[in-house]
Chains A and B, each alone.
Chain A
């Protein structure tokens, strides 16, 4: 482990004393995203938890240039930045758009689909905390079945999570990946790789959220790890259509040691009203997805 750690860029781009919650999963992931992207990067962000982390005018807590845009136009503003840089003949700068799951799955999807169809040369990062956590835990299309949110307070969410990776894969883009802040080296390697590739690249990070998912802040890394071990989150990358498991998911697929989803569900307060029937449905949904990934990895 240490040998791998020393390859990581030692520079910290997130300055201490920022506005992120204590034990924020996004904060861990974002640290490694910026370490991997380094300088010569322009970020563009819509309204999200990340805007809160970036701070209030006239001070910011992140040492990388960033543009704040409206909720629906993340990918459109990135297209504008790419066109502006091309007009100024600057080819050494990476444009990165980072949005939450609301800004990707729901509100930002049409701008993102447009940019991916045009093949705009940028990285789109979706940090998926499974709800509108910045505004107080409202339901989004990324919320898993059985979760309590402030807009599904009695019956819990009845629908499964939207498979955004499949939608993005439909655009035939050169690079797609999923990662988790509980495996920072895997996340770092994927971003280093994404930076080298040209064209639209899409990376989805599953970030545990202590206040929204209702678990103590000290368990952030543990919950993220359990999500991977139970198959709720699967770590993989699709490079030019070639599917490949990475990191812990690769080990699980080889050894067949995937844990049941109850280990993940029982540790979070948001699943306290989940019925046994819903738990069974979630388990079957995860099993179905996992078998599909296994088939793709073998092909």
Chain B
């Protein structure tokens, strides 16, 4: 049951996907090569620079690393900052081939 609020100010409630599924904005998709990814190769928590620099906070810093593509805006910062060059940005046309 929803709690009735006595406060009559215009108040927002937090929700995921305020601007819709922002994955639609993307023209290139990050693809992780787990044979190069430092965390996967060492099989222990390491590096995680993609998690550190992701503006959306949608990289899951586990083993293996996962990117939530529903909300990834495709900026490419993770691919640019990856020290092992394990992430590549694949354009949509190429991904379909």
Contact = CB atoms under 8 A, between A and B. Distances in A.
Contacts of A2: 45-48
Contacts of A263: none
A24 B49 CA distance: 17
A19 interface: yes
B45 A16 contact: no
Given A1-B47, A23-B77, A218-B75, A15 B55 contact: no
A150 interface: no
A17 B75 CA distance: 14
B15 interface: yes
Given A2-B48, A27-B56, A22 B25 contact: yes
Nearest to A20: B55
Contacts of B11: 58
B3 interface: no
B35 interface: no
A165 B18 CA distance: 35
A17 B18 contact: yes
Interface string A1-45: 110011000001011111110111101100100000000000000
The size bracket of the interface on B is 35 or more
A17 B71 contact: yes
A15 B16 contact: yes
Interface residues of A, number: 38
A6 B10 CA distance: 38
B57 A221 contact: no
A56 B75 contact: no
A110 interface: no
Interface string B40-61: 0000011111011111111000
Nearest to A222: B80
A217 interface: yes
A184 B14 contact: no
B46 to A, nearest CB: 5
Given A17-B19, A27-B56, A218 B79 contact: yes
A218 B80 contact: yes
Nearest to B45: A2
B92 interface: no
Contacts of A61: 14-16, 18-19
A15 B14 contact: yes
Given A5-B48, A28-B53, A16 B68 contact: yes
A219 to B, nearest CB: 7
A17 B14 contact: no
A55 interface: yes
A59 B18 contact: yes
Given A23-B73, A61-B15, A210-B75, 10 more contacts: A12-B57, A15-B17, A16-B16, A17-B22, A22-B25, A23-B75, A23-B77, A59-B14, A217-B75, A221-B80
